[in-house]
């Protein structure tokens, strides 16, 4: 037993000191496991959407930054649900938080707005 503890302790210490870089920059919530669960079972899209919404609401209340891509991912799921106005709002959020996303988001806002225009004229 002593041997095992001796062996594990230095490894833990070195891992902490040398490998693990820093605390998390963003509040990821359950992003990784939710996306994994969704890929494993695509019927779990609602659960993925919920977890993305939770990342956004927790971050807004905790002042922990929303990670890059989260507003857009959530917006895209809204778009697939036909909630185009909500999608456009989220794409705009992504763009205002992350200027790097401008080209992509502008394109998606155009797509979502065009679809809205078509559906209202019908």
Partner 1 sequence: MNPVSKLFLLGSVLMLTACVGAPKKYDYAQFRTEAPRSILVVPVINKSVDVNAPDYFLATIATPLAERGYYVFPVNMVKSVLSDDGLSDANLVHSGDPRRLGELFGADAVMYISIERWDAKYVVLSTTVTVELNYTIKSAHTGEVLWSNHQQVVYQPQANSGGLAGLLANAIVAAIAKAAPNYMPLAHQANNGAINFKGTGLPAGPYDGLFGKDMSDY
User: Which residues are at the interface with partner 1 (CB under 8 A)?
Assistant: 3, 6-7, 10-11, 14-15, 17-19, 21-22, 24-26, 28, 31-33, 35-36, 38-40, 67-70, 72-73, 76, 80, 94, 98, 100-104, 107-108
Nearer to partner 1, 35 or 86 (CB): 35
Q: CB 30 → partner 1: shortest distance, Å?
A: 11
CA atoms within 13 A on the CB side of 26: 13
In whole angstroms, what is the distance from residue 10 CA to residue 58 CA? 36
In whole angstroms, what is the distance from residue 67 CA to residue 91 CA? 14
Count H helices and E strands in the chain, helices first. 6, 0
In whole angstroms, what is the distance from residue 14 CA to residue 65 CA? 29
Nearer to partner 1, 11 or 61 (CB): 11
Q: CB 122 → partner 1: shortest distance, Å?
A: 22
Q: CB 42 → partner 1: shortest distance, Å?
A: 10
């Amino acid at each position: 037993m002593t041997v095992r503890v001796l062996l594990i302790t230095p490894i833990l210490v070195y891992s902490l000191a040398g490998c693990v870089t820093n605390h998390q920059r963003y509040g990821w919530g359950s992003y990784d496991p939710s996306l994994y669960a969704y890929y494993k079972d695509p019927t779990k899209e609602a659960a993925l959407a919920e977890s993305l919404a939770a990342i956004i609401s927790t971050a807004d209340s905790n002042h922990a930054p929303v990670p890059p891509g989260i507003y857009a991912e959530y917006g895209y799921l809204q778009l697939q649900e036909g909630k185009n106005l909500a999608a456009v709002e989220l794409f705009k959020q992504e763009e205002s938080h992350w200027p790097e996303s401008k080209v992509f988001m502008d394109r998606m806002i155009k797509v979502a707005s065009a679809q809205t225009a078509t559906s209202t004229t019908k």
